[in-house]
A and B are shown apart, each in its own frame.
Chain A
Amino acid sequence: MVRFKNRDDDCEVISEDPRCRQCIEDRALGLAIRDAITRVHGDYGLACCSISFTVKYLNAYTGTVLLRCRKDSYRLLCSALPFVRSLESRAQRYPCFLNTLHVGGTIRTCQKFLIQYNTTQLLRLLQNCTNEEERQCIQKSLLSCSLTEEPSPSGDEEEDD
């Protein structure tokens, strides 16, 4: 069966500026990535990667982004991601960089990876806790979250910041 194969790229937006979190939105990120691809791979690379390029999922609290592109051009996309140096939104430019966590073939695999990754991150946060209050908070959220098989596509666990 011939079908269009896509690659989903799981990235994390890391920034030193705390205000950057609020301005992470899909359109700004999409523009920033397209800009980086144009710089690194030119008109040909931009056209190749834009065929089916979308920001599929965005979580501003954790800074997790899920990008999708065609399988033939995902290498162009992945090689251009380190060149994204700043996000621009509402006439403000925040320096940041993208860290690729996982590349998968479907959204389901990326979702499974994200769930695993988020649990490890929560455990790590628990270890690095300095405040007793924060520790209680994280412990409560860890114990209260549970994976239920819901029919809706977003079965991710809730992250309270």
Chain B
Amino acid sequence: RGPAGRAMAAAAFERRVLRRAAEHHYLRVRLELPDGGARPNAAQFKQLVVTALKELHGEVGAALPVDVLTYEEKTLSAILRVISSGFVKLWSALTLLGFYQNRRCAFRVLQTSPFLLALSGNSRELVL
């Protein structure tokens, strides 16, 4: 290989792929309570999430580090942060939760992303 070949090798770019490198996963969820009763406040909401984890995944699941970053009581929507290894456990627990204080309820997961910034825009609710 002549000097041209060596120059090509020096200018070659390097690509790094990081798989599953994000430490946390973020979820935007909404709680649906079809009966118009009292809405839970932030602490009760977190208690509900931990209860859901405890029912499906036991004490180990309930000990998962889950944070409620924001919570709006009017729309019952929140942004949750969970450690990446517990993401599947959290989502499955939220899916299978059916009751809040003996009232029927359901969790709708609207967006998830390993980056918090990605939750700010939602192409589904884009108004053109």
Contacts and interface: CB of A to CB of B under 8 A. Distances in A.
Contacts of A38: 58
Nearest to B92: A44
Contacts, number: 30
- Of the listed residues B55, B58, B59, B92, the one surrounded by the most CB atoms of chain A closer than 10 A to its CB is B58
Interface in B7-57: 53-57
Interface in A119-134: none
A41 B60 contact: yes
A43 B60 contact: no
B61 interface: yes
A39 interface: yes
Contact of A40 (B53, B59, B92): B59
A44 B92 CA distance: 10
B59 A44 contact: no
A30 interface: no
Contacts of A41: 57-61
Contacts of B61: 41-42
Contacts of B54: 42
A125 B55 CA distance: 45
Contacts of B58: 37-42, 44-45
14 contacts: A37-B58, A38-B58, A40-B58, A40-B59, A42-B55, A42-B57, A42-B58, A43-B55, A43-B56, A44-B92, A45-B57, A45-B58, A45-B60, A79-B60
Given A42-B57, A44-B57, 11 more contacts: A39-B58, A39-B59, A42-B54, A42-B55, A42-B56, A42-B61, A43-B55, A43-B56, A44-B56, A45-B57, A79-B60
